[in-house]
A and B are shown apart, each in its own frame.
Chain A
């Protein structure tokens, strides 16, 4: 799986969780760029992503990601570590 694959799956999760069909994520997207992405919906996004990939973030990991690209890479690292 590439970063682009994760990104497109992310996009679907964001559309579903934030209930907004128009969301178009790129690797540089941050919470400031998406209107519905606040601290509470962030938690829902995290849980949805964890369920999708069967992984778990630590509290500090969640805080360290500064944009969507870093999150995607975080997931790829976690998936790689699982195998």
Chain B
């Protein structure tokens, strides 16, 4: 989810779009120039499935609009009213006060707001969104303003606090926390002084989409049309740092270990959401039993298995897994948020399930929470006691629904990735990476033989060995060397696969098939008759138990065999960048 620009929102107004939309009438009462605010809200609403008719009071006419029963406001009969006083106008009014009345400014302003709300409540059934006031440093008293009752800063703080009190017993009044929103984006970004002085705009063009998004969050929540209820988390490098399948439970980053804090923060957030009634789910490319270990055994994990309603860890594509989660929970895709560090997974889910909210998580985990906090993903209009028991209900449901999943063909998707492979035999430059892959890969590793850099060098020089390294690129970037093969020529007729290793990041993308094509081509070139593989089980490589079987090898005792002559290459979706296999 990336916020559209104001320009884009404005263009939405002209776009022909016949999709059914929720009709809504919004009146904007402001004391600044609000035309662009109306444009931004209407434009953003269209993206969220709302057709919002906007009524704007004339410039700075809040009071007469509300007091006069024949005003345009009452003719319009709004569903929702945005009551938007600006700090700027408030300060102008404050400065007009005589010295002795400055200390009671807040009380008087609040009394008039209270009066407005009472009148609106009497004459209309509309809900009211009331903005609080962004604050700024006091240019007259400095920090001492906070101790000076006659300062603007003091009166502003008093107004903001009392707005909270004032709204407590009013079920149809909802506050917009513009104060916090400005402190997130910054005063200088909220307002462009040039356009304020020239045209009385108190929101900058870049800030308008943010403002509109927050207004739509509230509208979505109070109309019940767009409530998000479910947070789906990826595991490796999202919920914890590192790869559980490769690093193991004692090496992942979470808790007080260096680098663990960002992940603890994210987990604490998820835990608080769960307490509020948000459903937590896991969707991870992992072996389920391996993925669950941290939840059961890691002492510093904040999230535990009992916090998770649906736990999906397998090697299928994530859009299908989210479809599965959806069928278990029976909630709309538009109520789901999917958080994943991998841009490719995010793009897949976005393209297959456009209603799911997919935050564009920053690369640096240290920034995860600061970013997520700014998105306001889980707006609500009520908080109920029943919310907290929701997790258990869905856990039971998850057990009932069969885990049989419906998988769509993702050929079109893989095609769209524009994958290109660069395949070469090992060379002096790749020695460190090759050694590292043999040392660190545990999951997609058929025989788990570890090699030092010197040993890799020996393989390059050996005439009875042959090797392949596969570097993968796609439209998202360069993954580097993600797979390797070490082959040993036996008896001048068989190519024995000593090592077949692949990074799990590129699983289910057809790389295995491509590599096999290359292995067979290599065997042919060397005039060998057979390719022979072996699977040596470890606690971590269950993933590739059926690897050779799936690729069409025949079992022969402990070994798997493939005839070179009868093999036809069938790799799809990956183009080959450079096919110079020298060995």
A interface residues with partner B (beta carbon < 8 Å) = 16-17, 19, 39-40, 43-44, 47-48, 57-59, 62-63
B199 contacts A43, C-beta separation under 8 Å: yes
The docked-state distance in angstroms from the alpha carbon of A62 to that of B194 is 9
The docked-state distance in angstroms from the alpha carbon of A63 to that of B231 is 50
Task: Identify which of A44, A57, A59 contacts B6 (C-beta below 8 A).
Answer: A44
Q: Write the chain B residue with the least CB distance to A48.
A: B7
B128: interface (CB < 8 Å): no
Given A40-B35, A43-B199, A62-B194: A19 touches B14 (CB 8 Å cut-off): yes
The docked-state distance in angstroms from the alpha carbon of A57 to that of B198 is 13
The docked-state distance in angstroms from the alpha carbon of A73 to that of B281 is 58
Task: Identify which of A17, A39, A59 contacts B194 (C-beta below 8 A).
Answer: A59
The docked-state distance in angstroms from the alpha carbon of A44 to that of B199 is 12
A19 contacts B205, C-beta separation under 8 Å: no
B556: interface (CB < 8 Å): no
Q: Could you tell me which residues of chain B, from 1 to 49, have a CB within 8 Å of some CB in chain A? A: 6-7, 10-11, 14, 33, 35-36
The docked-state distance in angstroms from the alpha carbon of A63 to that of B205 is 19
B83: interface (CB < 8 Å): no
Task: Identify which of B14, B193, B195 contacts A43 (C-beta below 8 A).
Answer: B195
B504: interface (CB < 8 Å): no
B198 contacts A63, C-beta separation under 8 Å: yes
A40 contacts B6, C-beta separation under 8 Å: no
Nearest Cβ on chain B to A67's Cβ, whole angstroms? 19
Point out the residues of chain A lying under 8 angstroms from B35, CB to CB: 40
B197 contacts A39, C-beta separation under 8 Å: no
Q: List 27 A-B contacts (CB under 8 A).
A: A16-B7, A17-B7, A19-B11, A19-B14, A39-B199, A40-B35, A40-B36, A40-B199, A43-B195, A43-B198, A43-B199, A43-B201, A43-B205, A44-B6, A44-B7, A44-B10, A44-B205, A47-B205, A48-B7, A57-B194, A58-B194, A59-B193, A59-B197, A59-B198, A62-B194, A62-B198, A63-B198
The docked-state distance in angstroms from the alpha carbon of A43 to that of B193 is 12
The docked-state distance in angstroms from the alpha carbon of A35 to that of B194 is 24
Inter-chain pairs besides A40-B36, A43-B201, A59-B194, 13 sampled, C-beta below 8 Å: A19-B10, A19-B14, A39-B199, A40-B33, A43-B195, A43-B198, A43-B199, A43-B205, A44-B6, A44-B205, A47-B205, A58-B194, A62-B198
Complex interface bits, B189-225 against A, C-beta within 8 A gives 1, otherwise 0: 0000111011101000100000000000000000000
The docked-state distance in angstroms from the alpha carbon of A26 to that of B254 is 62
Point out the residues of chain B lying under 8 angstroms from A17, CB to CB: 7
The docked-state distance in angstroms from the alpha carbon of A47 to that of B193 is 13
Point out the residues of chain A lying under 8 angstroms from B36, CB to CB: 40
Nearest Cβ on chain A to B48's Cβ, whole angstroms? 21
Point out the residues of chain B lying under 8 angstroms from A57, CB to CB: 194
Nearest Cβ on chain B to A1's Cβ, whole angstroms? 24
Q: Could you tell me which residues of chain B, from 318 to 374, have a CB within 8 Å of some CB in chain A? A: none
The docked-state distance in angstroms from the alpha carbon of A32 to that of B431 is 69
The docked-state distance in angstroms from the alpha carbon of A57 to that of B199 is 15
Point out the residues of chain B lying under 8 angstroms from A48, CB to CB: 7
Point out the residues of chain B lying under 8 angstroms from A63, CB to CB: 198
Nearest Cβ on chain A to B206's Cβ, whole angstroms? 8
Nearest Cβ on chain B to A55's Cβ, whole angstroms? 13
Nearest Cβ on chain B to A58's Cβ, whole angstroms? 7
Nearest Cβ on chain A to B200's Cβ, whole angstroms? 11
Q: Write the chain B residue with the least CB distance to A58.
A: B194
Nearest Cβ on chain A to B357's Cβ, whole angstroms? 28
Q: Which of B10, B14, B35, B195 has the most chain A CB within a 10 Å cutoff? A: B195
Nearest Cβ on chain A to B89's Cβ, whole angstroms? 19
Nearest Cβ on chain B to A22's Cβ, whole angstroms? 15
Q: Which of A16, A47, A58 has the most chain B CB within a 10 Å cutoff? A: A47
The docked-state distance in angstroms from the alpha carbon of A59 to that of B193 is 9
Point out the residues of chain A lying under 8 angstroms from B10, CB to CB: 19, 44
The docked-state distance in angstroms from the alpha carbon of A19 to that of B36 is 16
Nearest Cβ on chain B to A4's Cβ, whole angstroms? 25
The docked-state distance in angstroms from the alpha carbon of A67 to that of B100 is 50
Nearest Cβ on chain A to B558's Cβ, whole angstroms? 65
Point out the residues of chain A lying under 8 angstroms from B197, CB to CB: 59
Closest 8 CB pairs of A and B: A59-B194, A47-B205, A43-B195, A59-B197, A59-B198, A40-B35, A39-B199, A19-B11
Point out the residues of chain B lying under 8 angstroms from A62, CB to CB: 194, 198
Q: Write the chain A residue with the least CB distance to B33.
A: A40
Q: Write the chain B residue with the least CB distance to A41.
A: B10
The docked-state distance in angstroms from the alpha carbon of A45 to that of B338 is 37
